[in-house]
Chains A and B, each alone.
Chain A
Amino acid sequence: GENVEQHPSTLSVQEGDSAVIKCTYSDSASNYFPWYKQELGKRPQLIIDIRSNVGEKKDQRIAVTLNKTAKHFSLHITETQPEDSAVYFCAADDYKLSFGAGTTVTVRA
Chain B
Amino acid sequence: EAGVAQSPRYKIIEKRQSVAFWCNPISGHATLYWYQQILGQGPKLLIQFQNNGVVDDSQLPKDRFSAERLKGVDSTLKIQPAKLEDSAVYLCASSEDRANQPQHFGDGTRLSIL
Contact = CB atoms under 8 A, between A and B. Distances in A.
A55 B108 CA distance: 33
Interface of chain A: mostly helix, strand, loop or mixed: strand
Interface stretch (B20-28, B60-68, B75-83, B97-105): B97-105
A34 B45 contact: no
Contacts of B33: 97
A44 B100 contact: no
Contacts of A25: none
A102 B41 contact: yes
Contacts of B41: 101-102
Interface in B64-114: 91, 100, 102-108
A34 B107 contact: no
B60 to A, nearest CB: 12
Given A44-B105, A95-B56, A31 B100 contact: yes
B42 A89 contact: yes
Contact of A46 (B40, B91, B102, B108): B102
Contacts of A96: 45, 48, 56
Interface residues on A, range: 20 to 34
Nearest to B45: A96
A72 B33 CA distance: 25
B16 interface: no
B26 to A, nearest CB: 13
A36 B35 CA distance: 14
Between B42, B103, B107, the greatest number of chain A beta carbons within 10 A of the residue's beta carbon is seen for B42
Given A43-B91, A43-B105, A43-B108, A99 B100 contact: no
17 contacts: A4-B42, A31-B100, A32-B100, A36-B105, A43-B105, A45-B105, A46-B102, A49-B102, A89-B42, A89-B43, A96-B45, A96-B48, A97-B33, A98-B45, A99-B42, A101-B41, A102-B42
